[in-house]
C-alpha cells in the first residue's frame, strides 16, 4: 500500500513536540512538521517558510496590479512551469510496479551472477511496461509492441533486462533505429497519426526493409493488442552470455512467461476500449495489485553453446530471429512477482532509467549488433531526460547493494562523499578499490576481421521465420493477421507502398498475400519481392508461437461484467458472484443507473458502472441477469443492445437468465445462439458456467459474425 506523505497525513496525527511555542508533528521519515491552525500540517514554501495565504496573490488594492515581492507566488508558479521532463523518445507511455524475483535453484554451473547462486533467494525488482510509438498520454490499446523492462536490484549491482513482449525486432543494426522510430511515430509535418503504425511513412520504411518481415508477422498478430500486461510474455530478445566462476560461457536467451497464460483482445474491441477506458492496461495492473492478486511471470532461459549456434539454421546474433522452443526447450529458473504499486508515478515510473549496459558479473553481452548499439544509446537518453549525470542518485535508480566510487558533483548531487581523498591510487589508504576477481570482467574473446560497414551473409534470410510464425498460428489467429495487414495498409494512401508490402507477403505465404490483396481491392497481383535468399518451406510450425495454444485454461485473473436491473434474482446473483470469486476471478456490476438496483429479495445492490460507462469491451465475458420488471426499459437503451451485440461479435461467452431473452432479440442474436451463449442454470450449475468461461472466446463464432449471419 502507498505510504502516506506528511502533507497528506490525516488531521488526527499526534502532536509530538513543541518548539518556540509552535506545535510540531513527526512525519513518516521522523522529520518534524509544523501544524497550522486546526490539525492540518502547516503549508510552507519549498524553503520551509510558513505560508499565510495560498488563495490570493499579493496585489495593490483589490483591483490593482500584482507585486513583484510575492515570493510565494513566484516560487509556486516557477516550480509548476518546470514540472515536466522530456518524455521518452520511444516507450513514452508506460506503467510500472515493484516486486521481487525469486531464484528456483542455484545456476552456479552456468553463471556467477549473484542473484542466481542460492535457491529461494529474492531480489528486489521494478518493472515498467510500455507502448513504443505513442506519446505519454496516448491510449493503452494502441496496436503496438509492448515494452517489458525489468530492473533487478542485485547484490552485485543493478541488472536491467530491457525487453519487449515480442522476441524479435524490426532491424538488425542499431544505426537504423532513428529511421524506424521516425517512420513509426507521427508524420513530422502534420503530427498525426498518434500511437498508430497505420500510415504511409511506417509502411514505406517497413516495405523497404525486408529484414523487418518476421517482426511484421508478430506485430500484425494479436500480440500487439494484449488483454493486459498480466497476460503477455516478455523477451530479452538478444542472445546474451552467462559466465561462470571458471570463466566458461553459455549463450542464453531470456523469456518471461505469464503464470496466467496468454490472452489478447479483438481489434474491434481494442478500438472501443481506447474510447471507453484509455487507461485500460494501467487500471488493470493497479486493480490487480491493489486487490492482492499479484501478477507473476516465470523466467525461462534457452541455454546453448557454440556448437549449437554453429549448427542452428539462423545466426544467433541476428535479433530478427528466434530459436523455436521446440528446437531448444527453455528451462525455468525463477519467478517474478509484482506486489506493490509505486507511491508516486513521477518519482518512480517516470524517472526510472533502464539501460541495457547494466549487467552484473556473470551476465555478458554477445556480438549482436543491435544489442551493442543499444548499449551505447541508453545512457545518453537518461542524461537528456533526467537532466544530469546524477540520475543514479534517485532512489528508483540507485543500487540497493553497497556501492562506492569517486564520481562527484554535477547537477543535483544528492550523495556526496566526505573526506579529502577523491581519487585512486592514493597514499592514504582511503576510498574504494577495484577487484580483479569480483568485478565485472568481459569474457576474454579474440576478435579479428576487416573494418567495414557490412551486414553478414548469415543475416540474409528475411522470410523463412516470418513464414514459420504465420504457419504456427491457429486459423482465427491467421485471420487476424490478414485483417490487421488489410486494415493498416488500407490507411496507406500511396498505392505503390501497399503493393510493395504485398510483394513481401508473397514470399511469406501466398494465401495470406492473396487474401490481403483481394481485401485491398488489387486489380492484379504484384510479383514477389526479390529475396536475398529463397524462403525455406521446410521449417516446422512452432505451436509455442500461438497465443491461443498458450492461452489460459481457467477464468482466474479475469473479469466478468454482470448486467443487472431492478428485480434481479438475488440468489442467482449471489451464487454467480460467489462462484466467480471462488475461481479467483473478479466481477463488476453494470446497471441502468450507477446508484444501484433493488434485487428480488428487496435488498439494495450497489453497482460499479451505469450502462453507458461500462460497455462489454471492458470485460472478458458477460452475464445478463435481468428481470421481467427491468427488461422492458433495458431493451430501449442503445448501449444495452451494444453491450450484448459487442460481446457476441467479440466472441465472448454470454450467460443469461430467461428474462434477458428480449435483449438478445433486440441485439439481433437470438437466432444465432451458439455454445457460447448459455442460459444460466439455477445456482447449482453456476460452477459449470464458470469453468466454461475458462475457454475465454468462442472463436468458431467469428466467421459467421464476420459474414453478418448473426
Which residues in this chain contact ligand HDD in the complex, by CB under 6 A? 88-91, 94, 128, 130, 147, 149, 162-164, 169, 174, 177, 237, 319, 352, 354, 370, 373-374, 377-378, 381
What residue is closest to ligand HDD based on CB? 147
User: What are the angstrom distances between the C-alpha of 253 and each of 168, 337, 444, 558?
Assistant: 11, 20, 20, 30
Q: Are strands 559-564 and 604-605 parallel, antiparallel or unpaired?
A: unpaired
User: Is 223 marked within a binding site?
Assistant: no
Q: Are strands 654-656 and 621-625 parallel, antiparallel or unpaired?
A: parallel
Which C-beta is closer to ligand HDD: that of 147 or that of 557? 147
Which C-beta is closer to ligand HDD: that of 371 or that of 640? 371
Which C-beta is closer to ligand HDD: that of 162 or that of 265? 162
Contact between 677 and 664 (Cβ < 8 Å)? yes
User: Is 88 marked within a binding site?
Assistant: yes
The count of other CB atoms within 10 Å of the CB of residue 708 is: 7
Say how far apart CA 398 and CA 401 lie, in whole Å.
9
Catalytic position from the list 33, 72, 91, 650: 91
Query: CA nearest 124: which of 147, 96, 155?
Result: 155
Q: Which residues contact 189 (CB under 8 A, 6 or more apart)?
A: none
User: Is 378 marked within a binding site?
Assistant: yes
Which C-beta is closer to ligand HDD: that of 162 or that of 618? 162
Contact between 117 and 108 (Cβ < 8 Å)? yes
Q: Which residues contact 81 (CB under 8 A, 6 or more apart)?
A: none
For residue 577, the minimal CB distance to ligand HDD (Å) is 37
User: Is 385 marked within a binding site?
Assistant: yes
Show the CA angle centred on residue 335, arms to residues 330 and 337, nearest 5°: 145
Q: Which residues contact 402 (CB under 8 A, 6 or more apart)?
A: none
Which C-beta is closer to ligand HDD: that of 149 or that of 195? 149
User: Is 374 marked within a binding site?
Assistant: yes
Which C-beta is closer to ligand HDD: that of 89 or that of 328? 89
Our answer to whether residue 164 is catalytic in this structure is yes
Q: Which 3 state secondary structure label does DSSP give 338?
A: strand
For residue 89, the minimal CB distance to ligand HDD (Å) is 5
Contact between 302 and 253 (Cβ < 8 Å)? yes
Contact between 228 and 353 (Cβ < 8 Å)? no
- Dmax (CA) for the chain in angstroms is 91
Catalytic position from the list 33, 98, 158, 164: 164
The DSSP secondary-structure symbol of 12 reads T
Say how far apart CA 577 and CA 321 lie, in whole Å.
45
Q: Which residues contact 80 (CB under 8 A, 6 or more apart)?
A: none
Say how far apart CA 42 and CA 293 lie, in whole Å.
38
Show the CA angle centred on residue 518, arms to residues 513 and 522, nearest 5°: 100
Which C-beta is closer to ligand HDD: that of 130 or that of 250? 130
Say how far apart CA 9 and CA 659 lie, in whole Å.
50
For residue 151, the minimal CB distance to ligand HDD (Å) is 9
Q: Which 3 state secondary structure label does DSSP give 521?
A: coil
For residue 107, the minimal CB distance to ligand HDD (Å) is 23
For residue 369, the minimal CB distance to ligand HDD (Å) is 9
Which C-beta is closer to ligand HDD: that of 106 or that of 377? 377
DSSP assignment of 482-517, as one string? HHHHHHHHHT---HHHHHHHHHHHTTT-HHHHHHHH
User: What are the angstrom distances between the C-alpha of 516 and each of 184, 215, 489, 522, 640?
Assistant: 21, 18, 9, 9, 34
Backbone angles phi, psi at 372, to 5 degrees: -65, -35
For residue 239, the minimal CB distance to ligand HDD (Å) is 11
DSSP assignment of 600-624, as one string? TTS-EE--SEEGGG--GGGSSEEEE
For residue 564, the minimal CB distance to ligand HDD (Å) is 40
User: Is 177 marked within a binding site?
Assistant: yes
Say how far apart CA 378 and CA 568 lie, in whole Å.
56
Which C-beta is closer to ligand HDD: that of 57 or that of 381? 381
For residue 377, the minimal CB distance to ligand HDD (Å) is 4
For residue 9, the minimal CB distance to ligand HDD (Å) is 31
Each residue of 156-186: b (16+ CB within 10 Å) or e? bbbbbbbbbbbbbbbbbbbebbeebeebbbb
For residue 100, the minimal CB distance to ligand HDD (Å) is 19
Residues assigned a catalytic role: 91, 164
State the binding site. Answer: 88, 128, 177, 374, 378, 385
State the binding site for heme. Answer: 88, 128, 177, 374, 378, 385
Amino acid at each position: 500500500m502507498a505510504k502516506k506523505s506528511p502533507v497528506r497525513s490525516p488531521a488526527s496525527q499526534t502532536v509530538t513536540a513543541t518548539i518556540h511555542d509552535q506545535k510540531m508533528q513527526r512525519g513518516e521519515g521522523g522529520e518534524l512538521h509544523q501544524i497550522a491552525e486546526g490539525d492540518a500540517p502547516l503549508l510552507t514554501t519549498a524553503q520551509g517558510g510558513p505560508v499565510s495565504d495560498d488563495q490570493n496573490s499579493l496585489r495593490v488594492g483589490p483591483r490593482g496590479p500584482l507585486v513583484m515581492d510575492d515570493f510565494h507566488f513566484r516560487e509556486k508558479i516557477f516550480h509548476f512551469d518546470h514540472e515536466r521532463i522530456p518524455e521518452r523518445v520511444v516507450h513514452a507511455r508506460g506503467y510500472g510496479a515493484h516486486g521481487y524475483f525469486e531464484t528456483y535453484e542455484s545456476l552456479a554451473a552456468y553463471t556467477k551472477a549473484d542473484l542466481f547462486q542460492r535457491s529461494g533467494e529474492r531480489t528486489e525488482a521494478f518493472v515498467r511496461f510500455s507502448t513504443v510509438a505513442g506519446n505519454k498520454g496516448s491510449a493503452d490499446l494502441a496496436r503496438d509492441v509492448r515494452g517489458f523492462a525489468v530492473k533487478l536490484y542485485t547484490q552485485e549491482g543493478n541488472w536491467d533486462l530491457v525487453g519487449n513482449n515480442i522476441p524479435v525486432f524490426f532491424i538488425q543494426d542499431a544505426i537504423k533505429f532513428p529511421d524506424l522510430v521516425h517512420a513509426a511515430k507521427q508524420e513530422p509535418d502534420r503530427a498525426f497519426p498518434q500511437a498508430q503504425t497505420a500510415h504511409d511513412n511506417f509502411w514505406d520504411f517497413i516495405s523497404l526493409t525486408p529484414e523487418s518481415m518476421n517482426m511484421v508477422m508478430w506485430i500484425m498478430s494479436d500480440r500487439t493488442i494484449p488483454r493486459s500486461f498480466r497476460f503477455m510474455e516478455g523477451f530479452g530478445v538478444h542472445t546474451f552470455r552467462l559466465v561462470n566462476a571458471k570463466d566458461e560461457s553459455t549463450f542464453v536467451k531470456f523469456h518471461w512467461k505469464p503464470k496466467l497464460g496468454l490472452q489478447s483482445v479483438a481489434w474491434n474491441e481494442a478500438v472501443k476500449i481506447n474510447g471507453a477506458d484509455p487507461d485500460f492496461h494501467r487500471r488493470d495492473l493497479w486493480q490487480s495489485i491493489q486487490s492482492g492478486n499479484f501478477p507473476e511471470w516465470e523466467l525461462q532461459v534457452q541455454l546453448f553453446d557454440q556448437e549449437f549456434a554453429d549448427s542452428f539454421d539462423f545466426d544467433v546474433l541476428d535479433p530478427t530471429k528466434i530459436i523455436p522452443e521446440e528446437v531448444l526447450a527453455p528451462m525455468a529458473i525463477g519467478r517474478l512477482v509484482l506486489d506493490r504499486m509505486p507511491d508516486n508515478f513521477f518519482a518512480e515510473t517516470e524517472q526510472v532509467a533502464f539501460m541495457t549496459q547494466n549487467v552484473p558479473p556473470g551476465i555478458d553481452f554477445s556480438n549482436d549488433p543491435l544489442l551493442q548499439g543499444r548499449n551505447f544509446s541508453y545512457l545518453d537518453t537518461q542524461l537528456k531526460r533526467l537532466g544530469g549525470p546524477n540520475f543514479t542518485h534517485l532512489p528508483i535508480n540507485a543500487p540497493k547493494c553497497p556501492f562506492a566510487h569517486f564520481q562527484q558533483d554535477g547537477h543535483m548531487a544528492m550523495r556526496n562523499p566526505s573526506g579529502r581523498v577523491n581519487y585512486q591510487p592514493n597514499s592514504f589508504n582511503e576510498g574504494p578499490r577495484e577487484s580483479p576477481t569480483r568485478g565485472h570482467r568481459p569474457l576474454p574473446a579474440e576478435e579479428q576481421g576487416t573494418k567495414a560497414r557490412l551486414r553478414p551473409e548469415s543475416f540474409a534470410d528475411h522470410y523463412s521465420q516470418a513464414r514459420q510464425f504465420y504457419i504456427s498460428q491457429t486459423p482465427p489467429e491467421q485471420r487476424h493477421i490478414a485483417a490487421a495487414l488489410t486494415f493498416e495498409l488500407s490507411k496507406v494512401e500511396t498505392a505503390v507502398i501497399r503493393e510493395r508490402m504485398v510483394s513481401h507477403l508473397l514470399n511469406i505465404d501466398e494465401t495470406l498475400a492473396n487474401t490481403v490483396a483481394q481485401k485491398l481491392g488489387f486489380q492484379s497481383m504484384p510479383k514477389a519481392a526479390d529475396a536475398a535468399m529463397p524462403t525455406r518451406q521446410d521449417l516446422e510450425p512452432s505451436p509455442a508461437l500461438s497465443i491461443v495454444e498458450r492461452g489460459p485454461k481457467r477464468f482466474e485473473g479475469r473479469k466478468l461484467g454482470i448486467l443487472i436491473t431492478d428485480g434481479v434474482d438475488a440468489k442467482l446473483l449471489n451464487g454467480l458472484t460467489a462462484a466467480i470469486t471462488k475461481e479467483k476471478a473478479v466481477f463488476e456490476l453494470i446497471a441502468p443507473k450507477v446508484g444501484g438496483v433493488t434485487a428480488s429479495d428487496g435488498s439494495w445492490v450497489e453497482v460499479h458502472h451505469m450502462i453507458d460507462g461500462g460497455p462489454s469491451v471492458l470485460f472478458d465475458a458477460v452475464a445478463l441477469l435481468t428481470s421481467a420488471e427491468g427488461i422492458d426499459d433495458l431493451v430501449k437503451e442503445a448501449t444495452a443492445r451494444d453491450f450484448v451485440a459487442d460481446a457476441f461479435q467479440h466472441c465472448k461467452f454470454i450467460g443469461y437468465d430467461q428474462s434477458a431473452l428480449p435483449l438478445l432479440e433486440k441485439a439481433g442474436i437470438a437466432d444465432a445462439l451458439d455454445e457460447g451463449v448459455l442460459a444460466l442454470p439455477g445456482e447449482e450449475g453456476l460452477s459449470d458456467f464458470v469453468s466454461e468461461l475458462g475457454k475465454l472466446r468462442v472463436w468458431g463464432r467469428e466467421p459467421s459474425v464476420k459474414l453478418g449471419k448473426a
